[in-house]
Amino acid sequence: MKTPAPRSPSHRAVRRLVLGALAFVVLGGPAPGFVGSCAPSGSSAPDAYRYCLDSRGLVCSRELESGRIDESQFVACYDAIAPFCDTRRTWADCIPSGASVEACLNALRDPGRFGTASTEIVECINLCPSGI
């Protein structure tokens, strides 16, 4: 049986950083919000840009932790977040409630669901018709 090569210090540092960020996000817990798929009229909508940054960052972390991408692909994934989200500063199809946004982000944070592809997380698919 072949012995795996030792991991580089940079790999350990990236993994520690990702796990630390994931722990911070998970322990932060959900914020209170509206129940349902769309925010009531007159209420303040969740920030689309912040949601884009958060959800894309979680997708990159999930892919790395599940082994679907390697460290260099993680860096590329993470580097692509800001340019991608710069084009998504408003909600395209609907304005989701704060509870819907938190449910999606919590599902993406859940280590027990890392085996499920991010595009198949029901809470994010149902957020708006366009998904994550």
Annotate 46-63 with b (16+ C-beta within 10 A) or e (fewer).
bebeebbbbbbbbbbbbb
- Is residue 85 within 8 Å of 56, Cβ to Cβ? yes
Separation between Cα atoms, residue 107 and residue 77, nearest integer Å: 19
**pLDDT at 95 (0 to 100):** 86
pLDDT tens string 19-75:
444 434 433 444 443 334 444 444 578 999 999 999 999 999 999 999 999 999 999
Q: What is the pLDDT of residue 128?
A: 58
Predicted pLDDT of residue 33: 39
Share of the chain above pLDDT 90, in %: 48
